Structure 1
Amino acid sequence: MTVTVGLGPGIFDGRFGLANKKPAHLAQIPDLPSDNLAAATTGGDLSLQACADDPQVAYHAIRDLARMARGTATVRWTVLGFGRASAGKNQTTPRNLMGFKDGTRNITSDADYDEFVWLGDSAGWMAGGTYQVVRKIEMNIEIWDADVISDQQRVFGRTKVDGAPLSGGSEHTTPDFHAKAGGELKIDPRSHVSLAAHEHHGGVKILRRPYNYTDGLNQYGQLDAGLLFTAYMNDPEHFTRIQTRLGSSDRLNEYISHIGSAVFAVPPAPRAGEYIGQALFR
């Protein structure tokens, strides 16, 4: 099991004498196109993420932490995520509840981690840490399931079975956003893969680590489910830049709604004999 801790902007608002230690890029995510945020699933002073192969292990970890904090801190909102290993036989990229692979072009190299995820020595007590952006994204699963697969593939810009870009190749083939067939682009410029591509954001990348979630059935008897999108980067503006473009014209917006949002500073991993965030109090 692993546990990740993040510190929200409110931690540095003066209540705890830490205002002068606020990380340089830690600020609330601005209003973005297509946002439909609910107050009950937005913000927070601390982020606690527990990951385990068995959800019961993660549940008890969070329960015990909440119990120990009782009287000092209260739980604002929680999401039970799942599905990181649900890609299918002989497949490694996770799938979302829409049935498509999620994370094919994710950060994998040490060079990209150093350039886009980890903070450098100039970040002071946050050196070696990162920023976490969390978005709760509701999916209109019933409407999506009624759409034909060919249109679903145009929405994502990839094939549903193997995740290959519609420009051709296999899952990890670099998409060709200029490829045409019959005079038309093979990958719709408003497709999710096109709008999210780092080639269209000045080369900026973020580390994506999303989880599926379900809150059962809603009041209409339909599945209340979606994606808990978590991402890590050395500047939250990178996420804002990408999501502004997605929120404005992504064809996927017809089927999703961003209902929760938060941003946190994640301290570096503690050294032997130290605790998380110890450098903050030196």
Structure 2
Amino acid sequence: MSDQPLAGKTAVVFGVANKRSIAWAIAKAWADAGAKLIFNYAGDRLQKNVEQLATTFGEDTPVYPCDVTSDEEIDSFFENVKKHTDKIDLVLHSVAFAPKEALQESFVKTSREAYAIAHDVSAYSLVAISQRAEKMMPDGGSIIAMSFYGAVKVVPNYNVMGVAKASLEASTRYLAADLGRKNIRVNCISAGPVQTLAGRGVSDFGKLFKYYEDHAPMGRTCTPEELGCTGVFLASDGSASITGQVLYVDGGYEIVAM
């Protein structure tokens, strides 16, 4: 395989918050593999941080605002993308949110509002982004979303986020079915627990991390660098016939029953 399997490709990256973000690990790996990157930031609070990180790849690396709960902002974001390129090849969706209290109380106490917010931000946004990305992928492409084992099994305190991730994974399959004949592939990476801002929002996250170390066949969870490598694989021709799948990068934890 070439040292730069993504050379000549343009990637849109949603979800970088800081240098610990999984989105950042994959973005760096994509850039190292030759891709040109365009970033979003969600809200003024994150603007400066994302802009500063983006300069890693050159002072002129594009960064634009996009609140993924707003169709108008998604439209505006892709109009901004068109200032730099007529087509895109890759999309990373690493976006998730649920109100803090919904990740602390028991799931049965989830409010209607928290349920709706979690699904809008964490799952529907993949559909909304794919609608716009499809129009800029005339030669096909790869759309990758980030999930977690809580989508298929109960993880303490993950609560409504697990239900939203289940919706995300189902959406991945339906999008893959719709877009496959256009050579657009849609897959999920299900990462083991990683020390990110989002991860630390889950109550007793430290216990979850330790549990993986104690029970995963490899005796550990994954590293950001390993997630980056998986992101490159799913973006490259090496995965040209893989779509609608959830790839577990979790030290093997997913295979263990007891």
Which bracket does the TM-score occupy, shorter chain normalised? under 0.3
More helix per residue: 1 or 2? Answer: 2
- Larger of the two Rg values belongs to structure: 1
TM-score between the two structures when normalised by the length of structure 1: 0.26
TM-score between the two structures when normalised by the length of structure 2: 0.28
